[in-house]
């Protein structure tokens, strides 16, 4: 082991010494020198032991000097590789064009301008947003302007130390195979910083902004299904917070565009800031991130509380329970409510022809399939990440009508004119769904309960086990290996009857021992266990963060709204048993 560590350190030092060369700016050289001179080589190893790679969310990492960090050189290499590949893939076009956007994070504007400069230096036309914008608007702009690619500088809801780089293809979706592998190959061919063209051609960079905002908001308004209900409930009290992020640009405007007149802000969180000063984490999945919005809701007696994450692609949502308390609902419930509303409302309007479909990810609640089946609407399962939902949309382009799709991690896409999750449209439609429910005499909680009564109760919980750094990555690999070698026989008192391993694409019927192949576009490091009583457990390492994720879904019965609290309590008790069975309690 000591020899391995010595070899690793030698490799790391050799890589770091390259970053002492004249091609790197003084600030970077000084930071690398500090790490090289430090007797404790932990920081040096973490900064250089690997190169940042594209995962489910693109390039993402802690900002700083080093090959494993987000900086102008790793961003530059990724952009040069992408530019080289675009010139190869679209060699027959007279001009290649791209859109570049960014969020509010520290260094995001700087990185976006570096990206724009490199593309332009390579003879590529660049549409650069004038300031921060929601991620889904970048996806929309690629399609709207007929571009071949795009880049968004964002680390979504990660902590403030992080930044990221999302690459998009001509359809407005994040890049998947074979393009992702080909781009990596082109990036790896760049040997040294001298291979990156940093000197931009300003004549090839066009600034965009308000016109694109207007077109995007108009397209989103076209998704509205219940304008009459909104007119009757236009004074619905809606508290909204962007949590210091990009949503402040468009989401209040979209709600007004839909016809809502009573949008209540959280003024401190309307201030864009990469430091996210009022929250420990700018993630609407985390209850503490919603605390100020909930306090405002209590103050004004709000009907609905919603938030978007820093790049406004994820939605957080709060409802009032039977005791009048404001409670955060989970991502599965958000997707379920929105898809139920869209499917039911389309049926009410006579728009279901049998050629409609929805999409969810494999780790998202199976209750959605029950809703789709009973409404005679096709449902497709795909891997985690909206690039896979976008791939399903692309496969059915022009042959079937997309109604919506989502994943448990608080992402939803109601439209096909953008191809990444969109909190702008999701928040607008969630408010509309609340107005539609109010028309039926239901508050937000009763709308959720109504779904459970009609289609069966489910409860989901996500658990993330964090393991930092190189050692953490090895521990996560060992955990996955252990689950494959010794799968659980029972979970929550119910026999495991089916195992799906998406790494081997094997579906094993535990009862008979029969193994069949899963029909998926590629492999993925995900394990799923299904029990006799309908419980589903999914296990996968995160593609963007140093953690292994467990998704637990249990089912129960709800005859009426009166059963809701007991169904919740029973589900929570069962989940605690399952966590012990998995060794993560």
| CATH match of 50-208 with 3.40.120.10 | yes
Segment holding 356, helix H or strand E? strand 356-361
Check residue 57 and give its pLDDT.
Answer: 56
- List, in sequence order, the alpha helices (H) in 131-226: 135-145, 179-188, 210-221
Compare 407 and 323 and report the one with higher pLDDT.
407
What secondary structure does DSSP assign to 391-418, as a single string?
HHHHHTTTTSEEEEEEETTTEEE--SSS
- In this predicted structure, what is the pLDDT of residue 544? 63
Helix residue ranges, H only, 440-488: 444-455, 469-485
Collapsing DSSP to helix, strand or coil, 318 comes out as strand
For 496, phi and psi rounded to 5 degrees? -75, 120
Q: Quick one: tokens of 274?
A: 């990469």
State the Cα torsion 398-404-407-410 to the nearest 10°.
140
Domain 50-208 shares a fold with domain 457-582 = no
Instruction: Read off the pLDDT of residues 240-298 as tens digits, 9 standing for 90 and up.
Output: 999 999 999 999 999 999 999 999 999 999 999 999 999 999 999 999 999 999 999 99
Sequence-separated (6 or more) residues with CB below 8 Å from residue 53 = 59, 184
Which residues make Cβ contacts (< 8 Å) with residue 299, sequence separation at least 6? none
Residues 186-200: what's their mean pLDDT? 91
Active site residues: 156
pLDDT number for residue 173: 97
CA distance 244 to 267: 10
55 pLDDT more than 80 = no
H/E stretch holding 565: helix 564-582
519 has pLDDT over 70: yes
In sequence order, what are the residues at sequence separation of 6 or more whose Cβ sits closer than 8 angstroms to the Cβ of residue 131?
Answer: 109, 209
Task: Count how many residues are written for the chain.
Answer: 585
Please check the confidence at residue 359 and state whether its pLDDT lies above 80.
Answer: yes
Distances (CA, A) of 207 to 113, 116, 277: 11, 10, 30
Residue range 9-16: mean pLDDT, rounded: 95
pLDDT at residue 3 in the model: 57
Bridge partners (DSSP) of residue 175 are none
- Element spanning 113, H or E: helix 108-121
The answer to whether the beta carbons of residues 549 and 543 sit under 8 Å apart is no
Confidence of residue 1 (pLDDT cuts 50, 70, 90): very low
The number of beta carbons lying within 10 Å of the beta carbon of residue 90 is 16
Show the tokens assigned to 335.
């997707």
Residue 54: predicted pLDDT: 65
Q: 2 pLDDT exceeds 60?
A: no
The 10s digit of each residue's pLDDT in 531-562 is 999 999 999 998 667 899 999 999 999 999 99
Joined tokens for residue 126: 């660049």
Please give the pLDDT value at position 480: 95
In whole angstroms, what is the distance from residue 569 CA to residue 557 CA?
12
pLDDT for 569: 96
Among all chains, which residue has been given the structure tokens 């308390």? 325
Please tell me the predicted confidence (pLDDT) of residue 80: 95
Q: What is the number of other CB atoms lying within 10 angstroms of the CB of residue 559?
A: 9
Is 424 within 8 Å of 247 (Cβ atoms)? yes
Q: Are 412 and 406 in contact (CB under 8 A)?
A: yes
- The yes/no answer on whether domain 457-582 falls in CATH 3.40.720 is no
The fraction of the chain above a pLDDT of 90, given in percent, is 90
Instruction: Give the pLDDT score at 385.
Output: 87
Q: What is the CA radius of gyration of the chain?
A: 24
Provide mean pLDDT across the span 495-513.
Answer: 98
How many CB atoms within 10 Å of residue 92?
5
Residue 237: burial class (beta carbons within 10 Å; 0-12, 13-18, 19+)? middle
Two structure tokens written together for 2 = 């000591």
| Spatial CA neighbour of 174 closest among 24, 58, 253 | 58
Q: Which residue in 157, 15, 147 sits closest to 82, CA to CA? A: 147
The pLDDT of residue 545 is: 72
Q: Residue 180 above 90 pLDDT?
A: no
Cβ proximity of 110 and 103 under 8 Å: no
Pull the structure tokens for residue 176.
């998947």
Q: What is 66-99 written as a DSSP string?
A: STTSBSHHHHHHHHHHHHHHHHHHTTTSS--EEE
How far is Cα 417 from Cα 415, in angstroms, rounded to an integer? 6
Q: Which letter does DSSP use for residue 331 in this model?
A: H
Pull the structure tokens for residue 512: 């008979």
Confidence of residue 27 (pLDDT cuts 50, 70, 90): very high
- Give, in order, the Cα–Cα distances in Å from 140 to each of 215, 262, 416: 9, 28, 9
SS3 386: helix
What is the residue extent of each domain of the chain?
1-47, 50-208, 229-455, 457-582
Distance CA 296, CA 542 (A): 34
Residue of 497, 495, 470, 500 whose CA lies nearest to 484: 500
| pLDDT the model gives residue 163 | 97
Range of lowest pLDDT (32-36, 83-87, 319-323):
319-323
pLDDT in tens, 150-163: 999 999 988 999 99
Q: Say how far apart CA 266 and CA 264 lie, in whole Å.
A: 7
Average pLDDT, the chain: 95
Q: How far apart are CA 432 and CA 388, in angstroms?
A: 27
User: What CATH number has the domain spanning 229-455?
Assistant: 3.40.120.10
- Going by their DSSP bridges, the two strands 59-62 and 149-153 should be labelled as unpaired
| Cα gap 538→99, rounded to integer Å | 36
* 300-326: b (≥16 Cβ within 10 Å) or e: eebbbbbbbbbbbbbbbbbbbeeeeeb
Q: Give the DSSP letter of residue 12.
A: H
CA gap 101, 109 in Å, rounded:
8
pLDDT, tens digit, for every residue of 60-94? Answer: 999 999 999 999 999 999 999 999 999 999 999 99
Q: What is the mean pLDDT of residues 299-328?
A: 95
Mean pLDDT across the stretch 566-583?
Answer: 96
* DSSP, res 499: E
Task: Output the CA angle 260-264-266, nearest 5 degrees.
Answer: 145
């Amino acid at each position: 082991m000591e020899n391995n560590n010595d070899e690793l350190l030698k490799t790391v030092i050799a890589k770091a010494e390259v970053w002492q060369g004249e091609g790197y700016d003084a600030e970077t050289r000084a930071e690398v020198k500090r790490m090289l001179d430090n007797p404790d080589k932990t920081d040096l190893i973490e900064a250089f032991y690997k190169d940042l790679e594209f995962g489910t969310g693109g390039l993402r990492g802690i900002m700083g000097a080093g090959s494993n960090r987000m900086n102008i050189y790793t961003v530059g290499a990724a952009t040069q590789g992408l530019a080289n590949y675009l010139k190869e893939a679209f060699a027959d076009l007279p001009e290649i064009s791209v859109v570049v956007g960014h969020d509010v994070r520290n260094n995001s504007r700087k990185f976006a301008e570096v990206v724009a400069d490199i593309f332009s230096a390579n003879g590529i036309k660049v549409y650069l947003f004038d300031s921060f914008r929601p991620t889904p608007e970048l996806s929309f702009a690629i399609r709207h302007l007929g571009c071949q690619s795009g880049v968004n500088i964002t680390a979504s809801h990660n902590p403030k130390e992080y930044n990221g780089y999302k690459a998009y293809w001509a359809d407005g979706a994040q890049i998947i195979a074979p393009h992702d592998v080909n781009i990596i190959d082109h990036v790896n061919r760049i040997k040294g910083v001298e291979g990156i063209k940093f000197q931009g051609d300003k004549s090839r960079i066009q600034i965009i902004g308000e016109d694109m905002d207007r077109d995007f908001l108009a397209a989103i308004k076209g998704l509205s299904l219940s304008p009459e209900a909104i007119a009757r409930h236009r004074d619905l009290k809606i508290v909204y917070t962007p949590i210091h992020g990009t949503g402040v640009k468009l989401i209040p405007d979209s709600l007004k565009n839909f016809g809502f007149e009573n949008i209540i802000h959280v003024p401190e969180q309307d201030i864009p800031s990469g430091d996210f000063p009022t929250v420990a984490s700018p993630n609407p999945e985390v209850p503490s991130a919603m605390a100020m919005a909930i306090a405002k809701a209590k103050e004004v007696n709000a009907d609905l509380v919603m938030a978007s994450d820093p790049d406004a692609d994820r939605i957080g949502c709060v409802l009032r329970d039977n005791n009048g308390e404001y409670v955060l609902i989970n991502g599965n419930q958000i997707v379920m409510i929105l898809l139920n509303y869209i499917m039911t409302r389309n049926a009410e309007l006579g728009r279901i022809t049998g050629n409609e479909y929805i999409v969810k990810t494999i780790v998202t609640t199976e209750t959605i399939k029950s809703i789709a089946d009973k409404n005679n609407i096709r449902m497709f399962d795909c891997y985690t990440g909206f690039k896979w939902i976008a791939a399903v949309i692309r496969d059915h382009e022009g042959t079937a009508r997309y109604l919506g799709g989502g994943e448990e991690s608080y992402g939803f896409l109601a439209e096909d004119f953008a191809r990444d999750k969109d909190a702008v449209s999701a928040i607008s439609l969630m408010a509309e769904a609340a107005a539609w429910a109010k028309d039926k005499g239901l508050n937000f909680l009763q709308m959720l309960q109504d779904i459970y009564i009609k289609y069966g109760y489910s409860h989901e919980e996500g658990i993330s086990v964090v393991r930092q750094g190189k050692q953490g990555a090895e521990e996560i690999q060992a955990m996955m290996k252990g689950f494959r070698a010794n799968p659980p026989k029972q979970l929550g008192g119910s026999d495991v009857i089916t195992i799906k391993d998406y790494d081997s694409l094997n579906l094993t019927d535990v009862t008979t021992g029969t193994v069949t192949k899963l029909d998926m576009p590629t492999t993925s490091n995900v394990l799923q266990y299904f029990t006799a009583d309908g419980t589903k457990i999914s296990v996968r390492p995160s593609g963007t963060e140093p953690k292994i994720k467990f998704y637990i879904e249990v089912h129960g019965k709800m005859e009426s709204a009166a059963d809701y609290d007991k169904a919740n309590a029973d589900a929570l008790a069962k989940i605690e048993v399952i966590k012990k069975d998995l060794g993560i309690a």
